Structure 1
């Protein structure tokens, strides 16, 4: 997951130190970093405002509450991936190729961005009822993998005992690309993640290199 392009529309009052107006993009990324470091309970609106160099009122002008901020943050971080999955569906790919491409692109982006961002999707608070929009966005990410796994099982490409569990594991596998401080490039880590996942699902593991080659020919990325 990665944030969409920056908003160009100024929001709120100019900051006293002469920096430009606070944007929604800037506020959400600062919140992601603090919430990742301090936990949802530990990261107050006041702390986020201090990090940004603005008054707390400026943040409340953007988000009516901290719960609203977290809901918007999860949706915001998930949206580029969901847009990518929708566009990928237009290629009418075999499930194994579509899954490899999805895993590779997601892992590549995650391995290339701020390590604070993926942690947001695993906050225990997201289970609470007030975070319905966030839950829906996360479920849509997992749902993409579930649909591909189900299609692959139906056509005999995959063998999977628990497709729902496997779909959750697919999402988690892409997120771990950012956690290990490895010397390999994001592309190398992304291919390793995709190959690991597909090797465990393919009914014919010897097809893995052919699946990778087909996925690499698709000129579509999340960014």
Structure 2
């Protein structure tokens, strides 16, 4: 089990399987065009559309002049690029259409799929406590730079974009989705973009 540090939110085995199958589906959308461009997949959706007559075939001239040869090679390169891009489009369409079916089949049942979805959602939406605020140091960016602030907590140092001010020492600092949350003097949680 994977835990969200000290929050109590953990990833179950089903949620980990769900993450794996989603990564596999995204990877398939990039592997198929790469295999087409390398030549392992000799045909693709573009050629299939050309075979049934929806997309016109490129004219092939047996003895092209130098100028025609240049345009013919340009057409070949363009068709090669669009052939791989057609694999991307086909994979995204198939994976998008059958995504839930594939995930349910991989996890075993609809109940296991729902439980994994809930555990994953809970894990992603639970803030991670980073300790209490100890010190704030603002680093001014200069002429073309950006301002940054180094925030020291009881659990470590964190850098955020912009300047941080009007915060209480000892305030609870949490992190969620690449953002750092600090309680301000007027008891309002302020959020800052984490760097790194």
TM-score (norm 2): 0.18
Choose between structure 1 and 2 for higher RCO, CA contacts under 8 A separated by at least 6 residues. 1
**Greater strand share, structure number:** 2
**Greater helix share, structure number:** 1
**Structure number, greater radius of gyration:** 2
